[in-house]
Amino acid sequence: MDQIAYHSKHGGLWIDRLDWRAELDRRSERGLIDRTLADRIVSFVDKGFIILEGAAAPAAVDAFQERLARAFRQGDKRMLYQHPGDPNSQPLKAGTERLGTRVVDAFVAAPEALTLFQSPALMQFLTAIFAEAPLLFQSLSFDQGSGQGLHQDTAYVVVDKPLELAACWIALEDVKPGSGELMYLPGSHRYPDFDFGPGRKHWNGEVDGNEPHDRWSLWLREEGDRRGLELETFRARKGDILIWHADLAHGGVPIQDRSLTRQSLVGHFCPASRKPHYFSYLPDRRTIRAAGQLRYSSMYYAL
């Protein structure tokens, strides 16, 4: 039997195979993928992302926004948050400053977040590219733009098969100019592999130090310039969902107006048969729960 060839030596999803188009045709002929979904997959393979306009129901967005606002106002010991740059999480206390904090894995404490991650168009797309149920294993809520430079999720978000990963960004409000919009380089998901260590796509600060990380950050820009890629920003409307490939170079535009919010909910997914890295060192965090088509786990909560 011929060995399947991928764009990356690390393999990937079926959409990362060199024969992905033939595989898409096979799946379409079997009735697994309809015309609309097939067009979305073609665009995703070409650009490294797709935008599902209005895919999150307004009522679901409002419900999560109300839950979040109430938690910050009254406190919610079940809801955990972090300050940017601090890996430690703590329960949300009444009166906690909302700007600059990130609620982690809200889908565990707030069913309203889980409902957003179960948005039908999102579930349909992830199930199609994973060819199995998606596993949601990390989420962050943002009130303002992250300001994070261009990066690829494979450097930080680790699963046992590094390219069997996708993420989504759900707009909880209309995005205003100057609020630190999401930015990305279409086509950058097909860069050559950047390995931080032998056969390792993720960065380990304790092992690698800062030098390779700085070199990688510069390379992301230089490789885009070499390929003639142009940076785009996501001026989302409330309810829009952007889904991106594991290796798409993306980040946050510097915030121009600190009075503006850019409220969003981000989720990272892998196929349910894959293992997030924390499964290897947090045995009490390996539990997986089911919510309809969706599976979920958390490194912050004992499920």
- The per-residue pLDDT for range 158-183, each reduced to its tens digit, is 999 999 999 999 999 999 999 999 99
Dihedral angle computed from the Cα positions of residues 294, 233, 56 and 69, in that order, rounded to the nearest 10 degrees: 100
Percent of the chain whose pLDDT exceeds 90 = 90
Average pLDDT, the chain: 95
Q: What is the pLDDT of residues 25-51, one digit of tens each?
A: 999 999 999 999 999 999 999 999 999
Closest by CA to 68, choosing from 293, 265, 267, is 265
CA torsion sign for 274, 239, 257, 74 is negative
Q: Position 186: which residue type?
A: P
- Integer Cα distance of 301 and 297 in angstroms: 8
Closest by CA to 143, choosing from 301, 300, 258, is 258
Q: Are 108 and 300 in contact (CB under 8 A)?
A: yes
- Integer Cα distance of 269 and 291 in angstroms: 14
Q: What pLDDT is attached to residue 99? A: 85
Q: What pLDDT is attached to residue 214? A: 96
- Integer Cα distance of 104 and 83 in angstroms: 10
Assigned CATH topology for domain 49-296: Jelly Rolls (2.60.120)
Q: Are 167 and 215 in contact (CB under 8 A)?
A: no
Stretch 78-98: mean pLDDT, rounded? Answer: 89
Residue 94 CB-density burial (10 A; 0-12 exposed, 13-18 middle, 19+ buried):
exposed
- Under the banding of pLDDT at 50, 70 and 90, the label for residue 147 is confident
At 116, list the tokens: 């957003």
Q: Is 1 a residue whose pLDDT tops 60?
A: no
- Integer Cα distance of 302 and 283 in angstroms: 10
Q: DSSP letters of the chain?
A: -PPPPBSSTT---GGGBTTHHHHHHHHHHTTSS-HHHHHHHHHHHHHSEEEETT-S-HHHHHHHHHHHHHHHHH-EEEEEEE-TT----EEEPTT---TT-EEE-HHHH-HHHHHHHT-HHHHHHHHHHHTS-EEEEEEEEESS---PPSB-GGGTS-BSSTTS-EEEEEESSPPPTTS--EEE-TTGGGSPP--SBTTB-S--HHHH-SHHHHHHHHHHHHHHHHHT---EEE---TT-EEEEETT--EEEPPPS-TT----EEEEEEEETTS-BGGGGT-GGG---EEETTEEE--SSS--
Q: What is the pLDDT of residues 225-260, one digit of tens each?
A: 999 999 999 999 999 999 999 999 999 999 999 889
Q: 134-142 and 294-296 as β-strands: parallel, antiparallel, unpaired?
A: parallel
Q: Is 187 a residue whose pLDDT tops 70?
A: yes
Q: Are 293 and 215 in contact (CB under 8 A)?
A: no
> For tokens 């490789």, what's the residue?
223
Mean pLDDT comparison of 86-90, 120-124, 174-178, highest-scoring range: 120-124
Q: What pLDDT is attached to residue 2? A: 61
Q: Are 239 and 61 in contact (CB under 8 A)?
A: yes
